Chains A and B, each alone.
Chain A
């Protein structure tokens, strides 16, 4: 203690020396300059961020206004062509509004319903647009939905305008919304603008579930799996199934690690260790409670020197599928990465490739062992289908594809739509200016349903 005091006195004495004062002043000046510089920098950055938030917000208001106006116009339009044009623009504007909404510093639970609304407006407008292009007008029920959507877009617009007034009057600042650091700011943001966004949302909660063929409509989420056959199984039966799946001689243990609680595919989850691998190289898998189907499996083991090519891998995958009870599968596309090949297999029925019934197999290119398996598409969709007689002949289908491209081969396929339905098509493989492509011609109506460009690289065949 005494020594400390001595030092302090010494320091004081030295300070009283006039030269030392200047040193201290310089030091303080340095710190102050640094502080001012940092403060200014932080203020600049915050301003820049605020500007971005404001831009996103004001742009969103503009887009929502456009959506409302375009929906109104589409109800007035007397010709299908004009309505189609207006609805397509409404779809476009709703998308832009949603993009900007996602950039606002407001918590997700507050924004979710507004986002969903914009998405549904867009999807609905687009599906009506397609219908109009095909020459079919809007029916009464669709008109009523359109009316309701328009009403809701008006109330969204009002809510946004109120919020905008608060922001431009300076009562709310974006950084107050964005800053979650201190309790005070959080409370403020909960009381003020967050609340306002919640109000906007509440008016959508009563929004009726839209029944339309859109990818985001609620019936997709609750779609019942068609390929989920079999009885309810216990954990032991699922474990037994997994042992057979990997090969009973290879598996050391199958540990039950938990469960997946969903309405569509309730499942057990497992961790599997192997005889020939160290314990930290284990695999994980989910097995459905009903019928003990393997939904997916991943084995993240180290992969050694590549010895197999993709054709060998395709054979290995096919053999694996056949021995596990998946027969009549046909390989379609693949990617090669990290010394593995991920190959898509689709179910084939009476020479028709059924694309929705999809299984992905990931094969290690050192030994040909299956290190990944994914069959959600198969479980959700697989069933024995009634395949109709095509109304078009092959020649007619080729004629539909146009004259500019060369068609190399023709097959039959069932393709999935965004709406959860399937279309029976001619699958034409062709070439246009050294770009390979696939064209799908509806076998009943001759309509061109889908065009895919095939990207052929050394790492795989993918479609766009």
Chain B
């Protein structure tokens, strides 16, 4: 194909550039999210999970989500580490959709809530499950006994 005039050359270059952009831009995003998620202790991990799951909830509701994670660590039905519980496939939507990687501000209330949960505060009375009755899709979750409702979430055993 002969390129006869300037206009055609211009279009050609723009197309080539756009191909390169399409291929490289996603790479940037991938590397960023991985870099941010590498260094995290239990406290950070729990805080991030709370941030993804219960950002809009009251402080009590945030501590409750942290307590659920720790109750699961202590339960025989679930993995035995914080990372094992949080990253269990399909366990938390915040992990499935990647919100777990959103960084937390140092003075954020989710971090305080994570610390209170680690220090032993458990607003749920020992629950292992919680769900949002408005959006819960799985049927079996309703077979759980509701122990308490905090904000938008039901907590159960």
Contact = CB atoms under 8 A, between A and B. Distances in A.
Interface in A17-54: 19, 22-23, 26-27, 29-30, 33-34, 37-38, 41
Nearest to A35: B22
Interface string B1-45: 100100010011001001100110010000000000000000000
Given A34-B23, A99-B79, A109-B140, A376 B122 contact: yes
Given A30-B19, A98-B80, A296-B123, 15 more contacts: A41-B26, A99-B79, A103-B79, A108-B77, A108-B78, A216-B76, A261-B145, A264-B126, A298-B60, A298-B63, A360-B119, A360-B120, A362-B116, A362-B119, A372-B116
Interface of A: 19, 22-23, 26-27, 29-30, 33-34, 37-38, 41, 95, 98-99, 101-109, 111-113, 115-116, 119-120, 178, 180, 216, 258-262, 264-265, 267, 269, 284, 286, 295-296, 298, 300, 335, 337-338, 342, 360, 362, 372, 374, 376
B157 interface: yes
B149 A258 contact: yes
Interface in B94-134: 107, 109, 111-112, 115-116, 119-123, 125-126
* 3 A-B pairs with least C-beta separation: A102-B79, A119-B76, A300-B59
Nearest to A29: B15
Contacts of B112: 300, 338
Interface residue range, chain B: 35 or more
A22 B1 CA distance: 8
Contacts of A376: 120, 122
A300 B77 contact: no
B121 A296 contact: yes
Contacts of A111: 77
A26 B11 contact: yes
B15 A30 contact: yes
A258 B125 CA distance: 13
B135 interface: no
B11 A23 contact: yes
B125 A267 contact: yes
B56 interface: no
